[in-house]
Structure 1
Amino acid sequence: MADGNIYMKNNHFYAMLSRMKFINRWGLMRNTKNENICEHSLEVAFIAHALGIINNQEFNGNINAERLAILGMYHDVTEIVTGDMPTPVKYYNPIIRNAYKEVENVAKDALLSGLPEKMRKEYDSVLMESAAEEDLWKYVKAADKISALVKCIEEKRMGNTDFEKAEISILKVIENMDMPEVKYFMENFIPAYKLTLDESN
């Protein structure tokens, strides 16, 4: 029984996942409503899944949309350990970016240590971007930016001007991605985010 208790104490992976709701994003910005990484990750999963479906149905692609949803769900999990680092800080220069990547790797290993050994390989490839799935991660990154744009739209609708410049810079990044699936989503689905509930109905 004692050995079993020690083993159970080490199985902290899913308990750590439940703490995603305590990690807020946009730490340098004045928010009318805080957004945590749990909320953000679900939205990224929705959008990444949609981009995969759009690719397959509108552009004759062959993408595993369900895998995109899984990658989206887990794409920010290491922030349970690292916290959310504001984008202007994270990308300030290559030295900071490379150092943060190392910290992310340490965080990933710490989280994986909370799983039984034989389960770890199933999660290793979803906690951080991998070269083997580089093509899929491109869609997750696009979904991440679209989710950030949605946050800007929501804050602006509440009269918060702090997000105006963020919206401009995020839109530029999205446009520079030059992905037809992203353009399709932007043209067909983003306008609805600017409507009230009554207008949507």
Structure 2
Amino acid sequence: MSADDATVAFLAEAGHLKNLPRAGWLLAGIRQPESVAEHSYRVGIIAYVIATLEGANADRAATLGLFHDVPEARTGDVPSVGKQHVTLQDPNDVAAVQTAGLPPGLAARIRGLVAEFEAKETIEAVCAKDADKLECLLQARAYQAAGNTLVQPWIDTMLAAVKTETGRRLAEAAASQPVDAWWHKIVASYGRPGTD
């Protein structure tokens, strides 16, 4: 397989994350939960925001957020309740297999992203990990607003899990602010001068 073929295969595999549901939400009775790709998309945005506010490299944090679940294209998304009952391959090892046919420089960069996120030693990785937790909290609040009463444990757990000062502030705001507040403000402005 050529390097271009291997690269396209990797991109197609990453696209599989669009079809992979976030398994934890199934435990809460969510019939069609968000996909891993949908989760990772918002993690990237949140990581960028947190890192910017923390004075870290926002581009790096966002990239970590986008790539952090790529190994799940091979392993699936195992909810925390199941992790104690299965043996999962280390995400670093999975990323190594996933990137084996890629051009060496590209493979090394993707493996480095997964390794940095997993190690959680850089401020960018901590920001990305906080983003992972904050995204889960926001999604739990959205499911709660839609009537699901079983997601409170996710909200409580994610509130306790964030590490950065910015992450803690945003998590507190996310836990208390209605998830639809952003568009209620827009709707309330309809008909006012200058809002056409």
Query: What TM-score do the two structures reach when normalised by structure 1?
Result: 0.78
- Return the letter of the residue paired with 1:127: V
- Trace 1:13-162 onto structure 2 (pairs within 5 A): 13-25=10-22, 26=24, 27-31=26-30, 33-56=32-55, 63-90=56-83, 92=84, 99-100=87-88, 102-128=89-115, 129=117, 131=119, 134-162=122-150
- 2:122 is paired with a residue of what secondary structure? helix
Q: Confirm or deny: 8 A CA contact 2:159 2:171 kept in the other structure.
A: no
Count of aligned pairs: 181
SS in 2 for 1:194: coil
Higher helix share: 1
Taking the aligned partners of 2:144 and 2:154, their CA distance within structure 1 comes to: 11
- The answer as to whether partners of 1:45 and 1:73 remain within 8 angstroms in 2 is yes
After TM superposition, give the deviation of residue 185 of structure 1 in Å: 2.3
How far 1:48 moved relative to its partner? 0.6
- Cα deviation, 1:80-128, whole Å, max 9, x if unaligned, reads 00000101222x38xx6xx42x342332112112412342122111123
Question: Which amino acid letter does the alignment assign opposite residue 115 of structure 1?
Answer: L
Identity over the aligned pairs, expressed in percent? 24
Whole-angstrom distance in 2 between the partners of 1:132 and 1:125: 12
Root-mean-square deviation over aligned CA pairs: 2.4
State the one-letter code of the partner of 1:36. Answer: S
C-alpha contact 1:32 1:155 (8 A) present in aligned 2: no
| Equivalent residues of 1:192, 1:200 under 8 A apart | no
For 2:169, the aligned partner's letter is Y
Query: Counterparts of 1:1-20 in structure 2 under 5 Å?
Result: 6-7=1-2, 8-11=4-7, 12-20=9-17
Q: Which sits farther off after the overlay, 162-171 or 126-135?
A: 126-135
Structure 2 CA distance, aligned partners of 1:157 and 1:64?
33
Q: Deviations over 1:134-163 (max 9, x none)?
A: 332111111100001011101110111121
Counterparts of 2:120 and 2:44, CA distance in 1: 19
Contact between 1:152 and 1:163, CA under 8 Å: does it hold in 2?
Answer: yes
| Secondary structure of the corresponding residue to residue 27 of structure 2 | coil
8 A contact 1:74–1:127 mirrored in 2 = yes
Residue 192 of structure 2 is matched in structure 1 by: none
Structure 2 unaligned residues grouped into runs of 5+: 187-196
C-alpha displacement at 1:32, in angstroms?
5.1
Relative contact order (C-alpha < 8 Å, sep 6+): which is higher?
A: 1
Amino acid at match of 1:86: P
How far is the alpha carbon of 1:17 from its aligned partner?
1.2
Q: Deviations over 1:47-70 (max 9, x none)?
A: 1100011113xxxxxx11111111
1:2-39: CA deviation from partner (whole Å, max 9, x where unpaired): xxxx3254342111111110111024331154211111
Report what 2:191 is aligned to: none
